[in-house]
Chains A and B, each alone.
Chain A
């Protein structure tokens, strides 16, 4: 069987499950050693997951957002950091697929990503912008057909491990801070001078160190649409949906562990419902809400995908922002409940019920793009928006 036959016969979910098995084996070591999950990412490449979103005619598989989200949730159940790296790569891919199709350079890159299984990173945050990635201080300088770009990036996840980085900057030296472009820069075109070490509570394996990023390349590497459009049309929805999916995965695994614990208790004392079972029922109800919200958001995105009018509308931005706030808040409650159920066995590391990593990883959800910032932005949008109270829309 040729490779294409092999992979179409193997659904994306099956391939993600095989990667998840590898990721699970090393998840605790990645967390404890504060290191990149190289085994899991290697497995993603072996399963040829890097280019799945790329259209078939460019060597990919044209995977849907739903399928990618499913893979994120599968990976999230075994290793939050590996899942986050996968999600961040796919968010970059969504921007390339949606906005690079009309450019020869970006089309060639998509072919390369599929053929060589390249991992793409992202540099959107910058010292001095206060966490608002829709502003840049650095500006790209284009002279003739070449560009130069230097950015003091406080966070570039897995920068040392990826094959290319997509960088935001002001569109030119005189552009206001919100007039941004995104440029795809390959590994042999940039240097990284480390400024911050990623030593965090959770999501340790993403290795989101800070760097001064310096690069030169061809001007055609700049994506041909304003970054504001990229953010609205592909990035915002993909980020919140794919993050939400992996966060759901983290919470789902915590509930699984709590469930196993309660089953064990029930077996030991037949005829008596274990006290944790009530918490478990509550946790499952909450998890179900997270799942439902996600599925609705995925459906809506798949429907809206081809329609820039819908994706660019304020209502859509409000809904997708609120999805982020709701899921990131809810999963913490779910994992916390799972901890109550598993008790000291969940609190301890190294038991089948350990939840320390889940809890620490889950804590990143409210902070990566701070919910306070998301709510502030949303609050201003809500002032003009008209509320849609209908059930079916």
Chain B
């Protein structure tokens, strides 16, 4: 899944560096993720994983790093499996 998240960041993140060079816990905002791009990224992730970010995840911290995004996606997809 992290691979998919990385692909989506590469496509929608508008970063100034290559995603391949970023560690999972690297700060995406410091790497150039703008608030506009973060919204585009959220939408792409929602579409790809067929999930919806609840309000509590719609904040800066959820999109701080690849690991943070993956954790959100993980939580939302496992919710679905449980249901």
Contact B30 A314 (CB under 8 A): no
Residues in B whose Cβ lies below 8 Å from that of A179: 29-32
Interface of B is mostly: loop
A interface, by DSSP: helix, strand, loop or mixed?
loop
Complex Cα distance, B55 from A183, in Å, reads 33
Instruction: Please give me the residue from chain B that is nearest to A177 by CB atom.
Output: B32
> Which residues in A have some Cβ–Cβ distance to B below 8 Å?
134, 171, 175-179, 226, 228-229, 232, 309, 312-315, 377, 380-381, 383-386, 388
CB<8 Å pairs between A and B, sample of 25: A175-B30, A176-B15, A176-B31, A178-B34, A179-B29, A179-B30, A226-B29, A228-B60, A229-B60, A309-B56, A309-B59, A312-B59, A312-B61, A313-B56, A377-B35, A380-B36, A381-B35, A381-B39, A383-B39, A383-B43, A384-B39, A384-B43, A384-B46, A385-B58, A386-B55
- Across the two chains, which residue of chain B brings its CB closest to A384? B42
Of the candidates A134, A226, A229, which one forms a contact with B35 in the assembled complex, judged by CB atoms under 8 Å apart? Answer: A134
1/0 per position for B45-64, CB-CB distance to A under 8 A? 01000001111101111000
Contact B32 A178 (CB under 8 A): yes
Residues of A within 8 A of B34 (CB): 134, 178
Picked from B16, B39, B52, the residue with its CB within 8 Å of the CB of A380 is B39
Q: With contacts A134-B35, A178-B34 known, is A313 near B55, CB below 8 A? A: yes
CA distance A380 to B40 in the complex (A): 8
Find chain B residues with CB under 8 A from A228 CB: 29, 35, 60
| A315–B30 touching, CB < 8 Å | no
Q: Which of B16, B36, B46, B61 contacts A309 (CB 8 A)?
A: B61
- Alpha-carbon distance A146/B31, docked complex (angstroms): 24
Given contacts A176-B16, A383-B43, A384-B39, contact A313 B30 (CB under 8 A): no
How many chain B residues sit at the interface, stated as a range, is: 20 to 34
B40 contact set on A, CB distance < 8 A: 380
Q: Are B43 and A232 in contact (CB under 8 A)?
A: no
- CB of A176 within 8 A of CB of B35, answer no
Q: CA separation between A386 and B52, bound complex, in Å?
A: 9
A385 to B31, alpha carbons, bound, how many Å?
Answer: 24
In the complex, chain B residues whose CB is within 8 Å of the CB of A177: 32
Minimum distance in angstroms from A306 CB to a CB of chain B: 15
Q: List the A side residues contacting B35 at CB < 8 Å.
A: 134, 228, 377, 380-381
Closest to B57 in A: A313
